[in-house]
């Protein structure tokens, strides 16, 4: 389905929950957790602008999470939602926080969020993302062959997920091919690197920031909380990497549902039962 140039999947019933992937990803990253989340929410999983099947921002448009949030705010309006719960990974987490600043989020779960660095994206992150993108394009036949073996998948994905062998060959190929095929990748990386998340202190909805204890992309120095609201909850996803959906779907689901339930503290008896 497509609205306002945003391609998306939708399933489930309940309050709306929007799931946002990271740089070079697609809505398919959420597949390990969507079915469970759909038992509690009306789940909407879009491709970010310029990613997957979604249209790119206009020429000279904003390819950063600030620009993405503005597009997604319009997208929610077209769906008939004044606001929705939002969960995002990496750049998707930053975008979720920007949606909260716009008053479009009922709660935010930011998993390994980008944008919490002091001034701009650390060169360590930028170089790693840039190298993975270009090497993936240059060595595509070799990558396909490597993914056929467990050893190859482990080596190619270990910086992204903590448990690469939890992905099938087809899933691993989709992750890598989608990343290297993102048409707006270099522009997005340049726009994202120049900024940071700012002005979040006034966010008045529940916010959770979750970090995998095997996070290998975003260094500790880029996990600041100075621009987050004081009520932000910080949790650790045990045994998880930067993209944790395959590492431990249950932990990811529990973190999101715990956050969405906090949006209604007066109705704890009606809160959804959380998976163990």
Q: For the segment 46-85, what is each residue's pLDDT rounded down to a tens digit?
A: 999 999 999 999 878 999 999 999 999 999 999 999 999 9
Q: Is 252 helix (H, G, I), strand (E, B) or coil?
A: helix
pLDDT at 108 over 80: yes
Domains and CATH numbers, the chain: 2-270 (3.40.50.1820)
> Nearest-CA neighbor of 22 among 117, 135, 115?
115
- Residues paired with residue 19 on neighbouring β-strands, in sequence order: 87
Task: Report the distance separating Cα 68 and Cα 106, nearest Å.
Answer: 18
pLDDT at residue 36 tops 80? yes
**pLDDT value at residue 23:** 93
Which CA distances in Å does 56 have to 6, 30, 53, 79, 190? 9, 21, 9, 20, 15
* CA distance readout (Å), 123 to 95, 157, 190, 214: 21, 20, 11, 20
Q: Which residue has the tokens 């946002």?
A: 20
Which of 136-140, 180-184, 226-230 holds the top average pLDDT? 226-230
- Strands 84-89, 105-111: pairing kind: parallel
Q: 268 or 212, which is more confident?
A: 212
Dist CA 256 CA 246 (whole Å): 15
- Both tokens of 99, joined, read 């949606």
Taking the CB of residue 210, how many other CB atoms lie within 10 A of it? Answer: 24
pLDDT of residue 268: 36
Top-confidence residue, 74 or 122: 74
Q: How does pLDDT run across 252-263, given as a tens digit for each residue?
A: 999 999 999 999
Question: How far is 44 from 10, CA to CA, in rounded Å?
Answer: 5
Is pLDDT of 267 > 50? no
CA distance 89 to 77: 22
For residue 154, pLDDT beyond 60: yes
Determine how many CB atoms are found less than 10 A away from the CB of residue 43. Answer: 26
Whole-number pLDDT of residue 273: 45
> Distance between CA atoms of 63 and 171, rounded to whole angstroms?
26
Residue 251 has pLDDT above 80, yes or no: yes
Instruction: Tokens for 73, please give them.
Output: 């705010």
269 by DSSP, 3-state: which?
A: helix
């Amino acid at each position: 389905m497509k609205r306002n140039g945003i391609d998306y999947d939708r399933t489930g019933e309940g309050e709306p929950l929007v799931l946002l992937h990271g740089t070079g990803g697609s809505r398919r990253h959420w597949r390990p957790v969507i079915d469970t989340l759909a038992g509690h929410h009306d789940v909407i999983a879009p491709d970010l602008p310029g990613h997957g099947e979604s249209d790119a921002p206009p020429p000279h448009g904003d390819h950063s999470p600030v620009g993405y949030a503005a597009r997604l705010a319009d997208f929610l309006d077209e769906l008939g939602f004044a606001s929705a719960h939002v969960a995002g990974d990496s750049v998707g987490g930053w975008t979720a926080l920007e949606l909260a600043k716009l008053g479009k989020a009922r709660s935010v779960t930011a998993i390994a969020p980008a944008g919490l660095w002091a001034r701009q994206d650390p060169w360590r992150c930028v170089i790693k993302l840039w190298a993975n993108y270009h090497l993936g394009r240059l060595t595509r036949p070799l990558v396909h062959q490597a993914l056929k073996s467990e050893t190859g998948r482990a080596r190619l994905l270990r910086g992204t997920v903590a448990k690469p062998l939890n992905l099938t060959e087809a899933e691993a190929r989709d992750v890598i091919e989608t990343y290297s095929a993102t048409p707006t990748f270099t522009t997005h990386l340049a726009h994202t690197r120049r900024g940071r998340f700012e002005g979040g202190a006034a966010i008045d909805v529940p916010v959770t920031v979750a970090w995998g204890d095997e996070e290998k992309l975003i260094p500790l120095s880029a996990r600041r909380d100075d621009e987050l609201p004081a009520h932000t909850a910080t949790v650790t996803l045990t045994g998880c990497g930067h993209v944790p959906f395959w590492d431990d779907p249950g932990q990811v689901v529990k973190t999101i549902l715990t956050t969405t339930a906090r949006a209604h503290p007066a109705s704890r008896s009606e809160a959804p039962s959380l998976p163990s």
